[in-house]
């Protein structure tokens, strides 16, 4: 690739960690809105991704940024980019 051509950055999504029980794997729920085809009402939908977290730094409740990568296992093909917002500490 020449200098004038730049690689397109992969799509990143922001979601909330719902499970942090496994080693180096987090379950992240990404919510989005979808418009109903007939009635036009917006419906809230959710997709869950298995995300690779190399350093085990994300905790349950954290808002994280994830990006697609090569398949790392049967269900895991996303990686953790960064933690956008940490979950509030429990009192």
Q: Which domains are delineated in the chain?
A: 13-85 (2.40.50.140)
For the stretch 38-50, pLDDT in tens is 999 999 999 999 9
Q: What is the mean pLDDT of the chain?
A: 91
Looking at the predicted structure, is the pLDDT value of residue 28 above 70?
Answer: yes
Count of beta carbons in the 10 Å neighbourhood of residue 40: 7
> For the chain, what percent of residues have pLDDT higher than 70?
89
Give the tens place of pLDDT for each residue, 62-81: 999 999 999 999 999 999 99
Burial class (CB in 10 A: 0-12, 13-18, 19+), 61: middle
pLDDT band at 37 (very low <50, low <70, confident <90, very high): very high
């Amino acid at each position: 690739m020449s200098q004038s051509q730049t690689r397109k950055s992969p799509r990143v999504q922001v979601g909330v960690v719902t499970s942090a029980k496994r080693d180096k794997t987090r379950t992240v729920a990404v919510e989005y809105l979808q418009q109903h085809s007939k009635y036009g009402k917006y419906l809230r939908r959710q997709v869950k991704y298995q995300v690779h977290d190399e350093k085990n730094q994300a905790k349950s409740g954290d808002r994280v940024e994830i990006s697609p990568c090569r398949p790392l296992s049967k269900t895991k093909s996303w990686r953790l980019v960064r933690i956008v917002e940490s979950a509030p500490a429990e009192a």
